[in-house]
A and B are shown apart, each in its own frame.
Chain A
Amino acid sequence: MRLLVERLSKAYTFLWALRDFSVELESGDLVALLGPNGAGKTTLLKLLVGLIAPTSGAIRFEGTSRIAPRSQPRTGLLMPADHLYDNLTVRENLSFFLSLYGHRCDLQMIDCALEDVALLERGAEYVGNLSSGMRCRVSLAKWKLLQPDVLLLDEPYGVLDGSGIDLLEKFLRHQAENGGIVIMASHHVSRALKLCRRALILKQGRLTFNEVKRQPWPSFDRAFGEFLPQGEKWSS
């Protein structure tokens, strides 16, 4: 499976949020999407899943246009504390989304996924009563069950505790090893770099860096150095 993004641009009235973004990703790619606030990371993720339409450019999966109605491969977007119904229980949320995606709604499978994210005992609780970290775990269970081919994540580290991060990273590695593509937007550079095999850096809507990880990585150090707080140094 290949994901081809060709000269993708998005403008909000007179402001370019993303400009001429091109990238080619293949099965097994685990990508860190980095950049300062307002660089266009979330816009790019929303464009890739088809939530917003590009101003110009194209997104293709294995040569087929994403314009085709909800064509395979299926993309998933993990927003840490979002995309769940507060007044449905954890199990009801999962079973609703399973049915929506046309999967068999198997309660045993749901419980298994909840056990994987250490939330089995909270299955009957309303999502609205859970902390943002736990909601992120529910989202993780959701995408574990749905198994998307391309999984995009927006700042997943912010709300997770240590064990949650371990669960997340294990899941993302598993997704990539099983032929999926994972793109993760994050400000937690050291964690993201440890996990990912490629880094993309966006600056003011433009792609300024796109390389496969290597050690040492002086080009990354140079490219990323300018985003660090004053006085801090970075070394990959």
Chain B
Amino acid sequence: MELLKHTSLLLWKDFLLELRRRDSLLTMFFFGTLLLFVFHFSFDLPPDRVAEMAPALLWLAFLFTGTLGLTQLFQVERENHTLEALLLSPLDRGALFLAKSCFNLLLMSLVELVVMPLFWILFNLQGWNLLPQLFLVTLLGTIGFCVLGTMMSAITLRARARELLLPLVLFPLMIPVILATIRCMENIMSAGDLGAAGSWLRLLLGFDVIFVTVGILIFDQVIES
């Protein structure tokens, strides 16, 4: 109960700060759409070839956009040393982990909600009816990305070149999540049904559950070390 109370309090605080600063969300939006335009002008492919590449291209855009968000995730706690103020309090450290993960998930999901339909429009793709299922799979992948990203962001918090270090540490660890998400999306797009992605979907769910549980359990050590 205390965990949820603290999580919602921190989430509300981050949401309020983002609403007033608007730096993370706007940057992520611009960067995400910019990448789509770069892809659009770089690949001169027929729609059926693009459909094959769509999951990988989309996740390339999400990865870079999400990493941009992750580098800003603890920025607000670095200014005025407010992280110290949080660590001084009786706050459950798991709540800090959950709040930061949920906040990044919220930002990334908003960006994805714009970027995915835009991708379909730019590349003139068919199968708009598959978008809800693709969103669902993307959401599961994004949960894995945000949870692991929050952990790595906290680990590299005190590093000198953290913006450079974060992707170097994060991307290799993200390979299973990215692979499972892309395979899921490919199966859905080729078979036109969520059921076709069964085993990859279970794997993705498994990753999410493991990462969230481990994150809550060990974040205390990570943030205080």
Question: What 1/0 mask marks residues of chain B from 80 to 106 whose CB sits below 8 Å from any chain A CB?
Answer: 111011111111000000000000000
Q: Is the CB of B90 within 8 A of A85?
A: no
**Are B80 and A100 in contact (CB-based, < 8 A)?**
no
Residues from chain A with Cβ under 8 Å of B160 in the complex? none
Tell me the chain B residues, 1-58 only, with Cβ under 8 Å from chain A: 6, 9, 13, 16-17, 20-21
Partner of A82, one of B81, B89, B90: B81
Once A85-B17, A88-B13 are accepted as A-B contacts, the answer to whether A102 and B80 lie under 8 Å apart by CB is no
B84 pairs with A51, CB closer than 8 A:
yes
Q: Which of A25-33, A58-66, A70-78 contacts B (4 or more CB under 8 A)?
A: A70-78
Chain A neighbourhood of B87, CB < 8 A:
50-51
> Which B residues lie within 8 Å of A77 (CB)?
84, 88
Instruction: Provide the residues of chain B in CB contact with A79, threshold 8 Å.
Output: 81, 84
Q: With the chains together, A206 CA to B100 CA distance in Å?
A: 40
A49 at the interface (CB under 8 A from B): yes
- Residues of chain A with a CB closer than 8 A to B85's CB: 82-84, 97
Query: Which secondary structure characterizes the binding site on chain B?
Result: helix
Also in contact, A82 and B84, with CB within 8 A (given A100-B6, A100-B89): yes
Interface size on A, residues (CB 8 A): 25
A190 interfacial contact with B, CB 8 Å: no
Residue contact A83 to B89, C-beta cutoff 8 Å: no
Is A92 interfacial (CB-CB < 8 Å)?
Answer: yes
User: Residue A83 contacts which of B16, B21, B84 (CB distance < 8 angstroms)?
Assistant: B84
Kindly state whether residue A12 has any CB partner on chain B within 8 Å.
Answer: no
**A51/B88 in contact, CB under 8 A:** yes
Closest 7 CB pairs of A and B: A83-B85, A70-B90, A87-B20, A82-B81, A100-B89, A82-B80, A87-B17
* Chain B residues within CB distance 8 Å of chain A: 6, 9, 13, 16-17, 20-21, 76, 79-82, 84-91, 224
Q: List 6 A-B contacts (CB under 8 A).
A: A51-B84, A83-B88, A85-B13, A85-B82, A88-B13, A100-B90
